Structure formats: structure tokens, C-alpha cells
Chain A
Amino acid sequence: MITHYMSLSVILFCLGILGVVSRRNVFIVFMSIELMLNAANLGFVAMSRLHVNMDGHVLALMVMAVAAAEAALALAVIILLHKHKGNLDTNIFSLLKG
């Protein structure tokens, strides 16, 4: 049964990668990154259940805190981008290209 949980975690992570690769909307890319973090969390909790050891739960809490910090900063950057360019295209981020 743990096998199924880990397979679901792998599938969700791959869907997150596909979202980051294929879409150009900043919001969708950002939410795909959140999806990958959630898939990693599912892996942590499933392994924690397999070994009957709660370290995985604590690690999942840490990942959630990092995701919250990332959400705050990324949304601030998106607001700035929209204010200056009036657009949500990730290709605008090529501003720093040398």
C-alpha cells in the first residue's frame, strides 16, 4: 500500500515539472512549484508511516513553512512584475539575460 502512496507522490511531482516546463503564466508556474513541494510532503509522510517514526511529519512541517515563505516572496515579485510591465508572461523575466 505504501507503494501506491509513493507512486502517487512521483506522479504528482512529474505533473508539477510538466506545469513548470509547459506554461508561461507566472501564477501557473508558481502553483506547479507548490504542487512539487506537496508531492515531496506526501513522500515524507508515507515513509514516516512505513517506519512508524514521526521525523517525517516534522520534516513535512518544515517544508510547509518554507512554502509559506516562498509564497509571500513570490507573490510580492509577481505584484512588482505586473506593476512595471502590466503582463504575466515568464518571458519578461529574461530582463537579466546578459
Chain B
Amino acid sequence: MLTTYLFFGLALLAVLGALGLIIFKHPMNGAMSFVVTLISLAGLYALLSAKLIFAIQLIVYAGAIMSLIVFIIMFLNIQEKDLPLDPNRWFYVAGGIVVVAPIAGLLINISRTLPATEVTVFDDGFGSVKEVGQLLFTQWLLPFEIVSILLLVALVGAVVLAGKREVN
């Protein structure tokens, strides 16, 4: 019963944060609102007994990626006058809702056919570091190595792009 209340509270927070992201004008307010979404998603992962993903969501997403984004927003020192004007914004929102709402309704209806299992938090090893790590380093070894190469390429690319000096 407690997990149900927790789910609805966290889901409400996540949706409100996402709404704030697409409504607030200044990107800093949007980023702070997005952090709320990320942290409540971490709580939902904990309810789904994904312990490793819960920790990594907090450390990597809400910690590293969001602090990088906030750092860049503050580094560029964005004032109110630098923001692009969005005169047609609500028009685009309405058009987007018209396109997206039928697809969302269809998908939610499909998800109704899933078996109704009661979601309880496992207290055994499901989703803990040891089990997921064993799976990652045996069955998923090749994708893991490919992802490490991808991260290396992104690192080199970011240094080449952002570290370029002006040549006069």
C-alpha cells in the first residue's frame, strides 16, 4: 500500500518537473525543474527494486550530467534579452498535442493489457551491483566494450570541438 502512495507521489513530481521544463522561459529554471524529474525517477527505480540503476541515476544523471548542463548555462551567462522569442510557442504546443495525444492514448491502452502484478520491492539480490555486474561482464561484454569506445570518441570530439583556438 505504501508503495502505491509513493508511486503516485513520485509520478506526480516527475510529470510536474517535466511540465516545468517545457514551460519555464529561462533555461536555468528549466534545468532545476528537470532535476526534480530525475530525482523522482530515481525513486521510482528504487520502487522497482533496481538498486544499481537507482544509485547510478542519482550519481550520473542528477549529479554529473545536470551539473555539467547547469555549469554551461552559468558559464554562458544568459540574460533575459539573449533568450529567443517564442511568439508561436503555444501554437506549436497545441499542434504537438494534437499529433502526440492519439499515439499516447494508443500506447497507454496497449500497456493496459500487461498482467497486473503487485509491485513489491525484492529484498534478495535482484538488481543489486553483483547480479547486474555479472550479467554486464558475461552476456553483455561486447556492447559494454563498444559503449566504452563511444565514450572515448565523445571525449575526443568534445575536446576538439570546444577547445579550438581562434586562428587569425
Contacts and interface: CB of A to CB of B under 8 A. Distances in A.
Contacts of B116: 1-3
Given A31-B69, A69-B150, A25 B83 contact: yes
B151 A7 contact: no
Determine the main DSSP class of A at the interface with B: helix
Nearest to B88: A22
Contacts of B80: none
A6 B117 CA distance: 13
Contacts of A80: 161-162, 164
Nearest to B48: A49
State which size class the interface on A falls in: 35 or more
Given A11-B104, A28-B21, A78-B72, A62 B147 contact: yes
A27 B56 contact: no
A32 B64 CA distance: 17
B111 A38 contact: no
A15 B19 contact: yes
B135 A45 contact: no
Given A12-B14, A31-B31, A58 B140 contact: yes
